[in-house]
Amino acid sequence: MDLAACYRFLSLSGRAGTASGDDAYRLAIERAARTLMRAGVPEGHAIAAVALYLEACLGSLDCPADARALVRLTAATQRLVAAGYGEERVAGLRRLDDRERQKISGNLHDEIGADLIVLKLYIEMITLELAKGSAAPVGPKLQEALALIAHAIESVRRLALDLGPACLDSLGFLPALRSFVRQFSLRTGIKVEIGAKAPPVSMPASHETALYRVLRGALSNVAKHSKARHVTVTLRSVGDAFVMIVEDDGRGFDVRAPRPQRSVGLTAMRERIRRLRGRLLVESRIAGRPGEKSWTRLEVRLPLRKRAVP
């Protein structure tokens, strides 16, 4: 972020059809802040850098009025940096939601859409057989049609759980997690236990949605890659944060090695949690000697608002 270059915008005069110097300055600072966030620079570091720039400039100013003006400009700049980070968080969450909607749309087309097409063909075949007055071949086709309907119903239930927020609103946070985990265990045969050491604290809807989707992504990785038989999910509040830990007894993996399929999922999880000012940590061990156990541990920590003291 080149503050000296941004300051030059303030000397521009507004002209018809163009942004004023103030608008150009605001846009330049917010654009720089969004770039810094995408690069992984913490918001606090960016705001501190603006303060350090002020400190470096004050020593060269002899006029108190100029110093006061620079202090006010620095405070305004820090607010613009915070606004830029906030806009990038919202845009990032929107991108994540778009990708998830595309995934669900694909699942609807590939699973339920395919079932309905084949079901339509079976119904047409049954209709033709009945029109010919031949009922003998109808029985097997009806059984196959019923199987397709059952599969489509199961797909709808699973996709409804994958959507997350809908069942969070209707069931509540912990019941929704338990419902998803139960369906996951039935589909995969992997035993999943949820342990809550205390009743879930009140959290913003954004936190609940993020935790639900991170758990969904973590269990998806377990089913695809880990060959685990057992998963433990621990939920607890620690100070001014809420923590979710997902541990499995799978074969483990090298967290530093590039893994295209797994890394995309982990990157999406990290991005979602980071935009809520949280932290996601992944640890794993591959058993190297007889008797050693391999495992993978994912920890999410989201900050909670401090309660006002009465």
Sign (positive or negative) of CA dihedral 120, 123, 125, 128: negative
Instruction: Using the predicted structure, report yes or no on whether residue 64 has a pLDDT greater than 50.
Output: yes
Could you give the angle at the alpha carbon of 217 between the alpha carbons of 212 and 221, nearest 5°? 145
* R_g over Cα of the chain: 27
Q: Please, which residues have CB within 8 angstroms of residue 221's CB and are 6 or more apart in sequence?
A: 262, 265, 266
Name the pLDDT band for 17 (thresholds 50, 70, 90).
very low
pTM: 0.54
202-228 tens-digit pLDDT = 788 888 888 988 998 899 889 888 889
Structure confidence by residue, pLDDT tens digits, 152-167? 777 776 666 565 556 6
Would you say 300 and 256 are in contact if contact means Cβ atoms under 8 Å apart? no
In this prediction, residue 96 has a pLDDT band, given cuts at 50, 70 and 90, of: low
Cα(32)–Cα(293) distance, integer angstroms:
46
Q: Is 90 exceeded by the pLDDT of residue 110?
A: no
Position 88 scores a pLDDT of: 77
Nearest of 226, 221, 225 to residue 251 by alpha carbon: 226
pLDDT in tens, 29-40: 888 888 887 777
Residues 137-190 have pLDDT tens digits of 777 878 888 888 887 777 776 666 565 556 677 778 888 888 889 888 988 899
Give residue 161's pLDDT. 58
Q: Which among 163, 40, 37, 38 is positioned nearest to 97, based on CA atoms? A: 163
pLDDT top residue among 89 and 233: 233
